[in-house]
Structure 1
Amino acid sequence: MNKIYVKLLSLAGILCFGGVLQSCDDYLTVYPTDQITEEKFWEDKNDLNNVRAGAYTILNRTTPSVMLWGELRSDNFKLMKLDNTSLLHLQDGVLMPSENMFSWATFYTGINYCNLVLSRGQQMVNKGVDPSFGSGEWRPIKAEMEALRALYYFYLIRAFRDVPYVSEPVSTDKQAMAARIPATPGVAILGDLIDSLEVVKDYAADNFGSESDNKGRFTKRGIRALLADMYLWRGCLLKNYTKKPTNTPYGHIVNVSDVTTDSIVGTDTLKVSRTANGKVINDAYTNALAQECFNKAIQHCDAVLDYMKAKYQENLLKNTSASTIEKTQPYPLIRIVEVTGGTPDVAYNRIFGDKNSSESVFEVQFDGVNNVNGAYGKYLSSYSSSGISTSAFVVNSLFANVNSNESAKGFGRTDFRMLETMQISKVTSFSANAVYPYIKNLASSVAADNWQEMGKGGSYSFRTSSTSDANWPVYRLSDIMLMKAEAIARKHVGSDKAATNKAIVNADLCEGFDMVNALFGRYNPGLKPATATEQSEYKSTRLNTDRTNLKLYYGVDKTAANLLTLVYQERQREFVGEGKFWFDIVRQAEATNEPTKSLSDNMSLSTSLKNRLKLLYSLYNPVFSDEMKVNGVPAGGKLNQNPVWDRYSKN
């Protein structure tokens, strides 16, 4: 019964504003052979859990879109197949609304699954249809479904900024068509999602009983990580908010509740100048809210870090062979230890090879049989018995800085992440024309031939393309550390020099620098601190982290702006191919309201690309043309096309 229903539900879950009009009515009227209707289905907790699992299954199908939207618009990769006009346009900043890559249907299908569980689960508890399923069992399920729905929306907001916001399930075409929902500002949606998660976060599970479930479903830690990320983004969206363009009928609103019947000025035209509780929406108000968001991001990062540190210390007591650095390090990082005759990259092998490591917080699960991670093979690389085959993109050769210990962009000579990210075979000098296939999460294990010279190559074992069981990392320890460092920087940037309590500000900034440099140090174990007595050529001032000697300490005299730059440089190295760097650039553009500068600071841009991406909305995706045909203003609906890309709708 359950399998039949879930299969049917996969058709009903496509929303009208998902751009695909599957027949929801057929789902309601054509019964399975045992005559199970929707109402009869929700009779016990097993039914609910089947749909809950389905909501996660949809997430597996989103990874190609996340790769496109969050990664491939940046210059982390170089397009090799210039005959693929769709991808060529994407990298050239010519975004055509007719391209299927901009469909958000899969995300809204996932959202509808979550809405179904949230709605029906509460009804089951209220009606007492299953004596074994009460409030105690319902609350943790509600928490993880609220979180999963928030993650779906969060991806849409990062990619489109303003999107339709639906919090109730849709079961029929008629219901979806009647809604004709306009886009709500992303900052307001984030506010609503954050408020919901703050209410349920403590009800979430601590332990589901297996590592794959603990990392593949939303626990307390996963929800805290998601909250930290959403607070960080909302803070950047709120900065100088009223000076930014708007593309919704609501204008500038900061909360969903700001839109009331009193806001209506004319037919389908809304104007909001105050919040629901009467506060004037101006930059003073939104900038103050932004500061609160950065503080909350720090608090949620701390909660995750405290848990991971406690767990690390617990495991240390069982590890009699732990090294001194493992016993004394301030963060629970998996270390790379030198081994004669080739050094295994233990951190990579556990995080990406083994999957669901001690550093993992939340990752999308793939087993290579029932679900295959196709995002890498579709756009980057695949592996077979004949070796690595590139798809459309290769890693930007700028990342292979084999003659430098450290650099603003890319990996230095001792950085193990060079071997993790790109297939290296004895690179002696930088070449702009070199082709480096992407291998991160394609390789199941990595080892360096030389402890201190990544340019000398390494050895690998690979996942095959037919069993692509690589998990998709959403949040791991590196994310938490770099999110906290960024929130610290954003909290103080522009005001640190004038701070009345400089000791507190300096302590904050020192912690931020230490976190970023701890990650750098983990992946550069061949480097030493550049102290006055250190004469080795393998040294770096970034490893001068002893605060007892402030003359040598790396963070001395550095500002919050310096920290923010360092965070972004480290994020680019750490998360290549994880669908994050373009979103990072957009977040910076929102924080400063300076799109061109944000792009120039983080990417190598041609003049033509600079000219195309001058406006804030140019950094976001167009609304898919099929969507506009169903719910666009020209078709009598409520959606406005992204104003930058609307000119391509006329062709």
Structure 2
Amino acid sequence: MITKNIKHNLAVLAMGCGVVFSTTSCNDFLDVLPLNDVVLENYWTKESDVTSVLMGCYESMQSGDCVTRMGLWGEVRSDNIRMGNSSAQDLEQMLKENILPTNGYCNWTAFYQTINRCNILIHYAPEVQELDPNYTVSEMKANIAEATFLRSLSYFYLIRTFRDVPFTREPSIDDTKEYRIPADSFNVVLNNLIVDMEAVKDDVPMYFRKPNPDREETSERNNTARVTRPAMYALLADLYLWQGNWAKCVECCDYVISFKQEEFEKLLKRRLQNDVQLFNDIPLYLEKIGSMSGNAYNQIFGQGNSFESIFEITYDTKNSTTNSYVGSFYTHLNNNDPTSGNLVAIDEFYEGLPTTDTELFNKKDCRAYECITERGKAYWIAKYSSQSTDLDNTKTNWKPSYSWRAENYANWIVYRLTDVMLMKAEALIEQGSDKYEDAFTLINAVNRRAVNSLVPGSGEVLKFDDFKNTLEDMRNLVMEERHRELMFEGKRWFDLVRMARRTGNTRELAKTVTKKQYANISGIQIRLTDPNALYMPYSRSELKVNPYLKQNPAYNTGGDADLEKN
């Protein structure tokens, strides 16, 4: 909650205990001194103080509350998901588009905790640089840039979910500060995030660990859990896409794509990464190795931190941190048997495969079998949950074989190469019909990989002539490819909202997302004709403590109106 201040001499506690304009339980992260001995003068004196807090910023984003909302906010209201084995009322009401301010998933505290940690680091790092001669200006700038990325990403999730949110760059460290502040508009926050990111985009390194030519490893495997320069440009591309600045979006995407192309050339020279091949001049993992498909999935989602990755929230056995979102909401192991999670896929995407094409997938599309598994009368979510997937497409039924994760150490991928390719394609389409063919080339590269079309013109599913005539057809093409490629990755609902904002109406969104509903379809469609209803309501508890917040009109019930008056 953006309400409480913490004393100046408890600045360390603000980060170590995850305090952000509110109080929460403390962890061990920065329990450096007993509470009574923690004073500002004893901290923020050397480089290690800054780097420790920076790791706390990553840790905050890794938390269950944070990553769960990244997934749920981006997926549950979309056409991807139905209720699985859960009886949780808050989740069920979200799925039914009956979201009240009392719903627990309206709570945004985890993101503001991350934001405040980042604000505090950005505030104090310059002072530490003046005190510690070993802490260089370039190192300080890199630390501030990483924190700026994590803060901007947190705000980006908030505005896409709630639209207008309280925005501040000031840390909560001084009793003279007042953090009961009104919400800034979506566009004001978005524009500020772009300004912040542009100022620091080149301050982070290209690599945190250089590749070793004597070992069979790639630089990406050591650099996607930290914010590198390609990650900065990927987030900027996304921000520009939502702003509608197509040229800047393309420019940022080109930076990332060029980086990956250069890395591929280096790998070729070192004779590494022989399962990567150029698809329309962009290096992507091969799906099929030998007689079996599934390699791209196994590298990107099974192993994680892959060549195609740009930034991931990483979980591993070293500190026993697990991905609570995947563990609770997707397929998981129960007594060594795979069990449906709280959510399942809708039938229309999978039903009929591999005999016929479905509403979304061509029957040759490996992603359908990697994302979804048929179990009894339900379609469970396999993406992220399976450690590896093998598809024998020499058989008429493809015979998918899954190796399920014993523990959910699945990384949560924020940005990867194909996402950036499709962002660029979307921006090119909006620039005009003379860019359509370039956009199609990118979209087709992603699709060709998925259907094992290794040679251009052979085995392809998409044909440019089928889409080139209208803007609507090209928009549908890129949205459908994003749907297939990024399914269950916390992107789909945000994609639908972005398109609704761009076209100025919600009809297509309402029609799309109500396909999964069993009841009150017309009522939900009517509700979603209100653009305000695309966003979540402010939490009732937040309204109680911040009188400057005004509830989203789509959810402004009598109770919330009374809160605002008081």
Fold shared by both chains (TM-score > 0.5): yes
Query: Contact 1:388–1:437 at 8 Å: present in 2 too?
Result: no
SS where residue 118 of structure 2 aligns? helix
Separation in 2 of the partners of 1:393 and 1:584?
20
Residue 350 (structure 1) aligns with: 299
Query: Contact 2:14–2:20 at 8 Å: present in 1 too?
Result: no
Aligned residues: 531
Residue 130 (structure 1) aligns with: 132
Tell whether 2:565 aligns with 1:563.
no
Tell whether 2:382 aligns with 1:450.
no
> Residues 541, 351 of structure 1: CA spacing in aligned structure 2 closer, same or farther, 3 A cutoff?
closer
1:460-491 alpha-carbon deviations (Å, 9 max, x no partner): 21211xx3110000000111111001111223
Identical residues among aligned pairs (%): 31
| Amino acid of the structure 2 residue aligned with 1:113 | R
Residue 600 (structure 1) aligns with: 511
Residue 574 (structure 1) aligns with: 485
For residues 64-103 of structure 1, the aligned pairs below 5 Å read 64-81=68-85, 83-103=87-107
Separation in 2 of the partners of 1:403 and 1:461?
21
Tell whether 2:204 aligns with 1:204.
yes
Tell whether 2:484 aligns with 1:484.
no
Structure 1 position 202, deviation (Å):
1.4
Tell whether 2:146 aligns with 1:144.
yes
SS where residue 326 of structure 1 aligns? strand
Question: Structure 1 length normalisation: TM-score?
Answer: 0.76
For residues 124-203 of structure 1, the aligned pairs below 5 Å read 124-125=128-129, 128-171=130-173, 174=175, 178-203=178-203
| Amino acid of the structure 2 residue aligned with 1:584 | D
Query: Contact 1:381–1:389 at 8 Å: present in 2 too?
Result: yes
Residue 237 (structure 2) aligns with: 228
Residue 29 (structure 2) aligns with: none
1:563-595 alpha-carbon deviations (Å, 9 max, x no partner): 211111111111121111011111111111201
1:8 to 2, 13, 16: 13
Structure 1 position 108, deviation (Å):
0.4
Query: Contact 2:422–2:478 at 8 Å: present in 1 too?
Result: yes
Query: Contact 2:86–2:343 at 8 Å: present in 1 too?
Result: no
Structure 1 position 648, deviation (Å):
7.0
Query: Contact 1:451–1:526 at 8 Å: present in 2 too?
Result: no
> Residues 596, 155 of structure 1: CA spacing in aligned structure 2 closer, same or farther, 3 A cutoff?
same
SS where residue 438 of structure 2 aligns? helix
> Residues 82, 315 of structure 1: CA spacing in aligned structure 2 closer, same or farther, 3 A cutoff?
closer
Residue 223 (structure 2) aligns with: 214
Question: Structure 2 length normalisation: TM-score?
Answer: 0.87
> Residues 40, 12 of structure 1: CA spacing in aligned structure 2 closer, same or farther, 3 A cutoff?
same
Separation in 2 of the partners of 1:361 and 1:479?
10
1:549-571 alpha-carbon deviations (Å, 9 max, x no partner): xxxx5467433322211111111
> Residues 359, 192 of structure 1: CA spacing in aligned structure 2 closer, same or farther, 3 A cutoff?
same
> Residues 540, 200 of structure 1: CA spacing in aligned structure 2 closer, same or farther, 3 A cutoff?
closer
Tell whether 2:302 aligns with 1:302.
no
Query: Contact 1:489–1:561 at 8 Å: present in 2 too?
Result: no
Separation in 2 of the partners of 1:175 and 1:152?
25
Any gaps of 5 or more consecutive residues in structure 2? 1-9, 27-31, 210-218
SS where residue 622 of structure 1 aligns? coil
SS where residue 164 of structure 1 aligns? coil
> Residues 23, 629 of structure 1: CA spacing in aligned structure 2 closer, same or farther, 3 A cutoff?
farther
Tell whether 2:410 aligns with 1:470.
yes
Structure 1 position 214, deviation (Å):
1.3
> Residues 130, 335 of structure 1: CA spacing in aligned structure 2 closer, same or farther, 3 A cutoff?
same
SS where residue 628 of structure 1 aligns? helix
| Amino acid of the structure 1 residue aligned with 2:475 | L
1:87-125 alpha-carbon deviations (Å, 9 max, x no partner): 221111111101121111010000001001100002223
Separation in 2 of the partners of 1:335 and 1:15?
44
| Amino acid of the structure 1 residue aligned with 2:258 | D
Query: Contact 1:413–1:452 at 8 Å: present in 2 too?
Result: no
For residues 479-628 of structure 1, the aligned pairs below 5 Å read 479-492=419-432, 496=433, 505=434, 508-525=435-452, 540-542=460-462, 544=463, 554=465, 557-601=468-512, 604=515, 606-628=521-543
> Residues 158, 230 of structure 1: CA spacing in aligned structure 2 closer, same or farther, 3 A cutoff?
same
Over the aligned positions, Cα root-mean-square deviation in angstroms equals 2.8
Separation in 1 of the partners of 2:514 and 2:290?
36
Any gaps of 5 or more consecutive residues in structure 1? 25-29, 236-292, 426-432, 497-504, 532-538, 545-552, 632-636
Separation in 2 of the partners of 1:123 and 1:86?
45
> Residues 349, 541 of structure 1: CA spacing in aligned structure 2 closer, same or farther, 3 A cutoff?
closer
Structure 1 position 418, deviation (Å):
1.6
Residue 548 (structure 2) aligns with: 638
1:62-106 alpha-carbon deviations (Å, 9 max, x no partner): 110111111011121111347432222111111110112111101
Residue 436 (structure 1) aligns with: 379
> Residues 175, 586 of structure 1: CA spacing in aligned structure 2 closer, same or farther, 3 A cutoff?
farther
Tell whether 2:313 aligns with 1:402.
no
Structure 1 position 602, deviation (Å):
6.1
